[in-house]
Chains A and B, each alone.
Chain A
Amino acid sequence: MPPQSPLETKKLIVFAALVTGLLGVILAANVAVRGRTSGYAEGAGTPRRAGLERLNANPDKCAMTADPAPDNERPMRHVNAGLIDKVDVLVLGQSDADHMSRDFFRDDVHFYNGFISNSYFVYHYELYLDLVEAHGVPPLVLYDVGSGYIHSESEEPEWDTPAKSPLWWGFPPFHLGKAQPLPWYKDIPSLLSLAQSQLTLTWLEHQLPQSRAAHGTGGEGALQSDNGELYRCVDLHKPSMMNRWMADGSRIYREERDAVFAPTGPVSIEKARGDRKINPTRLRGLDFSLGQIVAKGSKVIVYSPPVHPQVFDEPKQVGIVARSGAAVREVAEKYGLDYCDLTTEAASLGCGPRDFYDELHLSRHCNQMIVKRLASGCAPRAGAALRAVLKPAVLE
């Protein structure tokens, strides 16, 4: 051995000890906190989880303020999956399904609207898996596939391969499409991640008495002032400057009050017309998601909701929408599923101009008309199962 410099040896030991020691402390804290706050990594006391707890504790009073964006909605659904009851009827899809409501269903039926705005099909399957893990297989799934989604330019990520998009990477454990919690020893990279450590710090901070008082969860009298902050439990029956989520997973728009909203103005044909080619990656995503859900044992009704009739002032839209419908039908048929294409059926459903918030988003009334149609012959295979869980008044 060469003569070793004692100073350099000391430095070496201090450097290695400091790195491993600090990481050991962080890992131990993360493992401990993770164990106490269930497998869902977003621990108690984080604003989003606390907001969802309040919402679920006060379903008839409370609507929760939140941002309508997939990078918020996706983790929100993920956390909520562990907080809600079992699900009998699940809605999956994008934001045009946001007014599908538990009001359509019998009181003993557990309904959950799991729409995610501007989302990929793999996100829907991710939420479905969360619910299966937490409560078992939902018996009936209403899958909203709007005609425009199949034309969307953005590439659908593969389930096991992260797209080059921060949205799909997310932060642990919301990455790589693997929403299920791993045993901690298999999850070292995420337990030693900055995001996990931040969550741990938030949780520890929540343990301080003054913080606990500020973030308190659930219980009576949980209504909070509508001050523009996220994850507030605000009065279900009052308008707000923010989008709000209800306990059944459906959404209330800004200014909307008791399911009545004012349409936003001129219809944007560009958004709805689907004036693009069919995106094969999107179709593959739908195929994957449907295939997995059917394999797990849920009954599925696939439907395309109506778009604003003004969209068809652009004549070529008719053909484009028809091609989209044919492509979705082909995928649905592959799995022996019903597909109900209502894209051009606004008038026959009874959805008037005041039922369209814009070219895509529909009122609760129009959504009621949709479920009625799905239960009344449009979905011959699974329609009976839907009919059995709807309130008789909806079918009249």
Chain B
Amino acid sequence: MAFNSLPFIFLFLPLVMAGWRLVKPRRAALVFMMGASYTFYAFAAGWLSLLMLVSTTVDYTVGVLLDREERPARRKLILLLSLAFNLGLLSFFKYYGFFIETVNDVAGHPVLANTLHIILPAGISFYTFQSMGYSIDVYRKHLAPSRSFIEFAAFVSLFPQLIAGPIVRPGFLLPQLHDSRPIDNSRVTNGMMLFTCGLLKKVMVADRLAFYADPILSAPRRFGSVDLWLSMVAFSLQIYFDFSGYTDMARGLGRMLGLELTVNFDSPYHADSPSDFWKRWHISLSSWLRDYLYIPLGGNRKGKARTDLNLMITMLLGGLWHGAGWNFIIWGGFHGLLLLVFHRIETPWRRLPLPVRHAVMSILILFTWVPFRMHTFADLGTFVQHASFRPDPPTAPRELWGYCVLGIALCALPKNSNKIDWNLSWRTTIAFALLAVVAILHLNLSSKFIYFAF
């Protein structure tokens, strides 16, 4: 039951909104929200939703223990246990198969047997980072631990942001859950518009792009350079509209429930440098990695070489976070390399005219999506070979060109969905309602959100 499904829009959402409004005692409302969120999650993860309950229990207990313990060594030990548990869980479910495969590939013959056919629970990377962030914040005394298990469980499992983020900081969301904030209708309308905007991004742009580009990118050996690069442009637009569409829907849902969620995208294709890109793309993950990995590693405080190393470690792990595959590590490494080079040429780079910086960045970002999309070395090699050396006449359907132009035009708009005032005029409200109907009529061709796989 994803956001882009009829049961969610017409059954689950109205029921949850009604329940959240009608159940008055705060504790009961949180129990209701937790129940709704676990129900939502169970549709995606089945019995593996119990894992989230285990993870929540561990981190809640860690918070309580850290609050009671003042001795630094003991506090550190408690935190390390929490990190070991969370990262162990994530590694087992996400990277076990990858590890076995890599060992066997390196050995050249099967050394380890992959006897456990592990299913990756949806959203595990997101909720693990969210609850791990809580333990670290409590350890650092940046945050008072939650006094209520229900409140904490509602925070970890909150359905709008559960499966694909944004990764919300506990200090941002827990107080909102703690304080009983009344919901006013202007926020609900506002949230509905933002949700509709996200739905349109997903269904009318991302899914349409994927529909025409996927057959080409799934069989790169059959196509020439124009088709392949056009499809890669389509993918770079698809992933943006898919993920930012999901985020808009999540934030819109939050507003309908009277909650504010973190901004996750800020026109990333307007970036004029690699570091600017990471301030605009998947902001909740990049800021998480900065605060909980890059800075603890030493950040830029330990000399140039160490800064480079820290940056590269952060980007490689950021890549690996996306998925258990070498292509994601290459993608992270590629971005790490761009950041390292940029730090060395920042001053002359800034002297270049803005359109030149934008153009160069757009091309570089397009290149980085190649390893992200081509999942195997064989496909990656074929793509690079054909995209570079096979100038066949284009065969891609005209629709693909059209949707790419539409996507680029939408990306070029000066205001993104975070900056639009969603308290719309009557005319725009009615136009949005009609667009929502069109999007819903396309739902049966809508596919899963890309970031559900991470």
The digit string for A167-188, where 1 denotes a CB below 8 A from any CB of B, is 0010110010000000000001
Contact status B211-A19, CB under 8 Å? no
> Is B218 in contact with chain A by the CB < 8 A criterion?
yes
Report if B101 contacts A (CB, 8 A): no
Main secondary structure of the interface of A (DSSP, over half): helix
Determine if A5 is an interface residue (Cβ-Cβ < 8 Å). Answer: yes
Decide if B441 touches A192 in the complex (CB within 8 Å).
yes
Check if B45 is an interface residue, CB within 8 A of chain A.
no
Min CB–CB distance B30 → chain A (angstroms): 19
Which residues on B sit within 8 Å (CB–CB) of A166? 211-212, 215
Instruction: Please provide the chain B residues from 404 to 454 with a CB less than 8 Å away from any CB of chain A in the complex.
Output: 423-424, 426, 429-430, 432-434, 436-438, 440-445
Q: Which of the segments A10-18, A51-59, A123-131, A294-302 contacts the partner chain?
A: A10-18
Q: Which of B146-154, B180-188, B224-232, B350-358 contacts A (4 or more CB under 8 A)?
A: B180-188
B218:A193 contact, CB within 8 angstroms: no
Q: Is the CB of B189 within 8 A of A164?
A: no
User: Would A15 and B433 count as touching, CB distance under 8 A?
Assistant: yes
Query: When the two chains form the complex, which single residue of A2, A12, A26, A171 contacts B192, counting CB atoms closer than 8 Å?
Result: A12
Does A318 sit at the interface, judged by CB under 8 A? no
Q: B6 and A188: CB pair below 8 A? A: yes
Assembly CA distance A190 to B446 (angstroms): 12
Q: Shortest distance in angstroms between A321's beta carbon and chain B's nearest beta carbon?
A: 24
Question: Which partner residue on chain A sits nearest B184 by CB separation?
Answer: A2
For the complex formed, measure the closest distance between the CB of A16 and the CB atoms of chain B, giving whole angstroms.
8
> Shortest beta-carbon distance, A267 to chain B, in Å?
23
Q: Which of A1, A9, A171, A192 contacts B440 (CB 8 A)?
A: A192
* Nearest-Cβ distance from residue B231 to partner chain A, whole angstroms: 12
- CB-based nearest A residue for B191: A12
- A1-42, CB < 8 A from B: 1-5, 8-9, 11-12, 14-16, 18-20, 22-23, 26
- Judge whether B441 and A15 touch: CB under 8 Å: no
* Cβ–Cβ contact B434 & A8, under 8 A: no
Bound form: Cα–Cα A189–B426 in Å:
29
List, in ascending order, chain A residues with CB within 8 A of B430's CB: 14-15, 18
* Contact present for A194 and B442 (CB under 8 Å): yes
Contact of B444 among A12, A153, A193 (CB under 8 A): A193
Docked Cα-Cα span, A164 to B440, in Å, equals: 22
Q: Determine whether the beta carbon of B6 is less than 8 Å from that of A12.
A: no
B308 beta carbon closer than 8 Å to chain A: no
Q: Is the C-beta of B214 less than 8 angstroms from some C-beta in chain A? A: yes
If the complex has contacts A4-B185, A12-B192, are A19 and B441 also in contact, measured as CB distance less than 8 A? no
Q: How far is the CB of B179 from chain A (nearest CB, A)?
A: 13
Q: Identify A5's interface contact among B183, B185, B192, B211, CB under 8 A.
A: B185
Q: Which residue of A lies closest to B193 (CB)?
A: A15
Q: In the complex the two chains form, what is the Cα distance from A342 to B123 in whole Å?
A: 54
Q: Quick check: B443 and A8 within 8 Å, CB to CB?
A: no
A281 within 8 Å of B (CB atoms): no
A174 CB, nearest partner CB in chain B, Å: 12
Question: Distance in Å from the Cβ of A207 to the closest Cβ of chain B?
Answer: 22
**Interfacial chain B residues near A15, Cβ < 8 Å:** 189, 192-193, 429-430, 432-433
How many interface residues does B have (CB within 8 Å)?
35
Q: Cα distance A194–B440 when bound, in Å?
A: 9
Chain A residues within 8 Å of B442, by CB: 193-194
- Which of chain B's residues has its CB closest to A7's CB? B186
> Of residues A11, A16, A26, A189, which shows the largest number of chain B Cβ atoms within 10 Å of its Cβ?
A11
Min C-beta distance of B12 to chain A, whole Å = 14
Q: Which listed residue (B219, B423, B444) contacts A189, Cβ 8 A?
A: B444
CB pair A5–B445 under 8 Å, yes or no, is no
Does A202 belong to the interface (CB within 8 Å)? no
Residue of A nearest to B217 (CB): A164
Taken together as a complex, chains A and B put the C-alpha atoms of A4 and B215 apart, in Å, by 50
Q: How far is the CA of A26 from the CA of B6 in the complex (A)?
A: 14
Q: Is B184 a contact of A165 with CB atoms below 8 Å?
A: no
A20 contacts which chain B residues (CB < 8 A)? 10
A19 and B436 contacting across the interface, CB-CB below 8 Å? yes
Chain B minimum-CB-distance residue to A168: B215
> Contacts A164-B214, A192-B443 hold; do A11 and B429 have CB atoms under 8 A apart?
yes
A279 interface hit (Cβ, 8 Å) = no
Chain A residue contacts of B445, Cβ below 8 A: 169, 171, 193
Across the interface, B429 reaches (CB within 8 A) one of A1, A14, A164, namely: A14
Q: Is the CB of A8 within 8 A of B433?
A: no
Indicate if the CB atoms of A172 and B437 lie closer than 8 Å: no
**Chain A residues in 8 Å Cβ range of B441:** 26, 192-194, 197
Which A254-286 residues have C-beta < 8 A from chain B? none
Q: Can you list, as one digit per residue, whether each of B134-150 has a CB less than 8 Å from chain A (1) or not (0)? A: 00000000000000000
A5, A22, A154: the one contacting B437 at CB < 8 Å is: A22
In the complex, are the beta carbons of A12 and B184 less than 8 A apart? Answer: no
Mask: chain B, 317-361; 1 = CB below 8 Å from A; 0 = not: 000000000000000000000000000000000000000000000
Q: Which residues of B contact A11 (CB under 8 A)?
A: 189, 424, 426, 429
Q: Which of B144-176 contact A (CB under 8 A)?
A: none
The 9 closest A-B pairs by CB, nearest first: A8-B186, A18-B433, A189-B444, A193-B444, A2-B182, A194-B441, A9-B185, A12-B189, A2-B184
What are 24 A-to-B residue pairs whose CB atoms are below 8 Å?
A: A2-B182, A2-B184, A4-B184, A4-B185, A5-B185, A8-B185, A11-B426, A12-B188, A15-B429, A15-B430, A18-B430, A18-B433, A19-B436, A19-B440, A20-B10, A164-B214, A165-B215, A169-B211, A189-B443, A193-B442, A193-B443, A194-B438, A194-B442, A197-B441
Residues of A within 8 A of B (CB): 1-5, 8-9, 11-12, 14-16, 18-20, 22-23, 26, 153-154, 164-166, 169, 171-172, 175, 188-190, 192-194, 197
Which B residues lie at the A interface, using CB under 8 A? Answer: 6, 10, 182-186, 188-189, 192-193, 211-212, 214-215, 218-219, 222, 423-424, 426, 429-430, 432-434, 436-438, 440-445
